[in-house]
Structure 1
Amino acid sequence: MDLKNKVALVTGGGTGIGRAVSLLLAERGAAVAVNYSRSEVEAEETVRLIESAGGRAIAIQADVSNDGAVREMVGAVAKQFGEIDVLVNNASITRHIPLDDLEAATEELWDELYAVNVKGMFFCARAVAPGMKRKKQGAVVNVGSIAGLTGSGSSLPYAVSKAAVHGLTKSLARALAPHIRVSSVVPGAVATRWWEGREDTMNRLSTNLLLQRISTPEDIAHMICAVLEQDSMTGQIVTVDGGQTL
């Protein structure tokens, strides 16, 4: 898919990987809807960066765990730019708790992480699917995590939710074929605000990676755009982790 003149929705688009992919999509000619839940200032700044470079963008608030809000957001984007061609399901949350502290993995924590990380991606994909089907083309990238491959990560519920994202990707690829492609890009450690206060840990980790560097948000954004542009790819789980899981 040529991204020029396409309409893209990026959830959690104001910061980190979301900002990087929003900027790159705009650079490649797409009109970008930058979704945010609470990071309004960051989302508006992302829009300003796109517009200052001559691109088109809007910031749009919606809690992706709320199906009604997601449907309203998709409708608003369609009114502004036209029906959505590209969805980057990037919005995710976590809570940092020791993996072996099973009591800390409360029911409320499970519900909170699954609502955003799994159901939110499903709600967004479902909301954009009718428009993509009408156009007989569309592409979705779900941002996963190596936590979903290794079973380790910031918390047990987070790791399990990301494994579910990978499963959701394969199921949606089957459900939405032949006109809508769905794949997942799976980052390892990425230098984003999730590491705030834990930078020493991140730097120690980098020495153990085969490539001896932590990925940047831009690294992941380039892979997301490459997957969106690859018309022969669907249902794939593409890992970008500097050799972390080898």
Structure 2
Amino acid sequence: MNNFKNKVFIITGGGTGIGKATALKLADREAKLVINYSSSETEAKKVVEEIAEKGGIAFAFKANVASEHEVNNMIDQTIAQFERLDGLVNNASITAQIPMNDLESATDDVWDSLYDVNVKGMFHCVKAAVPHMKKQKSGAIVNVGSVAGTTGIGSSIPYAATKAAIHTMTKSLAIALAPYIRVNCISPGAVDTRWWSGNEDKMYQLAGNLPLQRISSPEDIADAILFQLKQESVTGQVFTIDNGQTL
């Protein structure tokens, strides 16, 4: 998959942030794209328009990844439209801002909603995509984790736990789906997305000591995702991109 031309990719949470940056970079390389969204309809449609203006091909599809039924519909629609599926970027994710020491606020509802989207949602997408990738004997999946899954420090304990689960699930899937399908994971530190604006002080506090004294852009992370999509010798890896935060 060194050449992305005419390859088909689904980007979950593709309307904003890292998902959007990844979609635009793939479009520049003439890939065909499905921009998944759950609530960011306006943003997702803007991304599709932007891709069309560049002469690319994309459509937006609303699906909450927590719903297996909606995910299956999205995959069916992708195959109906493009007749193949080469890559899946599992970027859709939610969080809850709960101080780490406030155990009372980490309710069952918070745990369930974060696990349903961040972990089971990714699994739903993989499960639905795999039969098509197996049929063509090729495919690449990139899951988006977080340094919170390594350090345990993040917007909440349930969030950090879901990200650790994603890192482990990546390895399990890489073993389960070899040799035809590669599965990798990106583990970003602080990234300048919509979560960042207005929360700069809090985010810097969470990020701690950054040896490189910079915050990653969504494009930085997107470049790493493209690398994992095309590098055929890499599977089961969790790449940390954090400006040295976890050193």
Q: Give the TM bin, normalised by the shorter chain.
A: over 0.9
Cα distance in 2 for residues equivalent to 1:94 and 1:177: 31
Cα distance in 2 for residues equivalent to 1:203 and 1:93: 20
Cα distance in 1 for residues equivalent to 2:121 and 2:40: 17
- Matching residue of 1:33: 34
**Structure 1: gaps of 5 or more residues:** none
Report the secondary structure of 2:59's partner residue. strand
- Matching residue of 2:94: 93
Report the secondary structure of 1:132's partner residue. helix
- Matching residue of 2:77: 76
Give the conservation status (yes or no) of the 8 Å contact 1:206–1:214: no
- Matching residue of 2:163: 162
Cα distance in 1 for residues equivalent to 2:110 and 2:197: 21
- Matching residue of 2:199: 198
* TM-score (normalised: structure 1): 0.97
- Structure 1 residue 206: Cα displacement: 7.5
- Structure 1 residue 207: Cα displacement: 8.6
Cα distance in 1 for residues equivalent to 2:184 and 2:208: 30
Report the residue type matching 2:185 in the other structure: S
Report the residue type matching 1:148 in the other structure: G
Cα distance in 1 for residues equivalent to 2:87 and 2:30: 12
- Structure 1 residue 205: Cα displacement: 6.9
- How many pairs are equivalent? 246
Give the conservation status (yes or no) of the 8 Å contact 2:153–2:206: no
- Structure 1 residue 81: Cα displacement: 1.5
- Structure 1 residue 201: Cα displacement: 3.4
- Matching residue of 1:135: 136
Over aligned residue pairs, what C-alpha RMSD do you find?
1.3
Report the residue type matching 2:85 in the other structure: I
- Structure 1 residue 174: Cα displacement: 0.9
Structure 1 segment 34-49 matched on structure 2, within 5 A: 34-49=35-50
Report the residue type matching 2:60 in the other structure: A
Structure 1 segment 1-246 matched on structure 2, within 5 A: 1=1, 2-202=3-203, 208-246=209-247
Residues 40-91 of structure 1 show CA distances to partners (whole Å, capped at 9, x for unaligned) of: 0000001111111111110000000000110010000111122211000000
- Structure 1 residue 208: Cα displacement: 3.2
- Structure 1 residue 203: Cα displacement: 5.5
Give the conservation status (yes or no) of the 8 Å contact 1:105–1:157: yes
Cα distance in 1 for residues equivalent to 2:196 and 2:95: 12
Residues 83-104 of structure 1 show CA distances to partners (whole Å, capped at 9, x for unaligned) of: 2110000000001000011111
Give the conservation status (yes or no) of the 8 Å contact 1:206–1:213: no
Report the residue type matching 1:146 in the other structure: V
Report the secondary structure of 1:195's partner residue. coil
**Structure 2: gaps of 5 or more residues:** none
- Structure 1 residue 196: Cα displacement: 3.4
Report the secondary structure of 1:34's partner residue. strand
Give the conservation status (yes or no) of the 8 Å contact 2:211–2:244: yes
Give the conservation status (yes or no) of the 8 Å contact 2:189–2:207: no
Give the conservation status (yes or no) of the 8 Å contact 2:207–2:245: no
Cα distance in 2 for residues equivalent to 1:90 and 1:67: 16
- Structure 1 residue 211: Cα displacement: 1.0
* TM-score (normalised: structure 2): 0.97
Report the residue type matching 1:243 in the other structure: G
Report the secondary structure of 1:181's partner residue. strand
